[in-house]
Amino acid sequence: MIPSRRVYQLLLLGTVIGLGAATIGSDVTNPRLLGLSIVLTLGFDVLVLLLAVLDVRRAQAGRAVVERDRLARLSIGRDNLVRLTVKTGYQSAVLQIRDFYPQAFSTTTKHLSVSLPAHSSEALMYQVFPAKRGEYDWGDIQVRQLGAWGLAWHDWKIPQSETVAVYPDLIGLRSLSIRLTLQASGNLRRARRQGIGTEFSELREYATGDDPRLIDWKATARRSRVLVRVLEPEQEQTLIVLLDRGRLMTAQVKGLARFDWGLNAALSLALAGLNRGDRVGIGVFDRQMHAWMPPERGQTQLPKLIERLTPLYPALLEPDYVGAVTTVATRQTRRALVVLITEVIDTTASVELLAAMGRLAPRHLAFCVTLRDPQVDTQAHALTTDIPTTYARAVALDLLSQRQLALAKLKQKGVLVLDAPADQISEQLVDRYLQLKARSQL
């Protein structure tokens, strides 16, 4: 039993009344009146406490039912929704609820409060934000229910402990899947009208605006009407993603490790490739190749990639770019789009990266993706008013300049380059891939 504020107010009121009665009609406290007031005050206090106990017993008999919906796999770097369902019985209820989520998570609220009439139910929701992947222990639910007279809280614990897993950005993958599905229907019809692509799909009658170069003159002569060839983007191409898990990928950007941003981008790109009919494979490396998923097509490939890559974390090791590229060249003889997700500082630190991407360029379409820290951009473009901030801005500008020089050398070797803020890399990478597919660059 936990006394409510009303109990303390009543006890204080009883004490004040007792002291007032002891001093009535006299400037000096009368011993007999004082003794009588103490007895009355104690009696009043005991009565209040007995009523509080009775109030708790009644609340215990009419406990509300609180349940937490089973937690699905949580997404790193996202606000994940947690839902509690509250049901009342034959009496109304005023509740305070504390759900013991993992301490490593941040949340929108620590306590939930609700007031419900009898025979009703309500869903309470709050959000948790995990910043690291892995498994976490989720505790029980602590509930306090106020008695009908408002004198005390009945406090009890509901055993609902469980183990939850934090995965890469599954929420973002679901949103991307919906977007790709909607785009596919509209873009496919548009592509067929315009004849964009390399693979023959069908013949149809010529319409105003069609490219005359797509007219099939033999079919036109046979059927005595102008027919055009409908082309669509080539399917079953190969997409390979190499994800660096080395030293530079351990840095924190916007609350997440740079590696986690890269992992989210790699899975988003894999989803886009599978959605467009390509064969998709992923390799994760530092000094050696720690994970290699050979290119496959079909929707069953994405769950395999998620389960295989989720347990991986970055390490304080220098990456072996040449070794990773050699692995791809050995295992993938057919031309493929090879996307390397990493980080660069300057030309000196990126000598091995430049050499490795240069090896890829003749046979494969090489694509280097780097994850920029938005804080450096902000510092480089901030107005300064004193020497320390001016110095910090100069350092940020120098970092960006050296970075752009290294990326320019990659472009000179025929490597495609995407340099974007880490928290925006997934969307920009998928858009760039879709552009490559639409232009049939592979």
Overall pTM > 0.85: no
Amino acid 192: pLDDT: 46
How far, CA to CA in Å, does 291 sit from each of 244, 356, 429?
11, 19, 22
CB proximity list for 95: less than 8 A, separation 6 or greater = 64, 66, 86, 112, 113, 114, 115, 116, 143, 144, 145, 146
Tell me which residue of 140, 131, 159 sits closest to 74, measured CA to CA. 131
- The rounded distance, in Å, linking the Cα atoms of 323 and 326 is 5
Q: What is the DSSP string of 43-107?
A: HHHHHHHHHHHHHHHHHHHTPPEEEEPPP--EETTS-EEEEEEEE--SS-EEEEEEE---TTSEE
Q: Are 141 and 175 in contact (CB under 8 A)?
A: no
Give pLDDT tens digits for 370-420. Answer: 999 999 888 888 888 888 888 888 988 888 888 899 899 989 888 999 999
Give pLDDT tens digits for 406-439. Answer: 899 989 888 999 999 999 999 999 999 998 887 7
Q: Mean pLDDT across the stretch 300-315?
A: 94
CA 192 to chain centre: 36
Residue 1, classed as helix, strand or coil, is coil
How far, CA to CA in Å, does 190 sit from each of 108, 185, 193, 232, 395?
44, 9, 5, 10, 48
Q: Are 238 and 332 in contact (CB under 8 A)?
A: yes
Q: Which residue has the higher pLDDT, 28 or 340?
A: 340
Give the residues across from 2 on adjacent strands.
Answer: 153
Residue 225, classed as helix, strand or coil, is coil
DSSP secondary-structure letter at 423? G
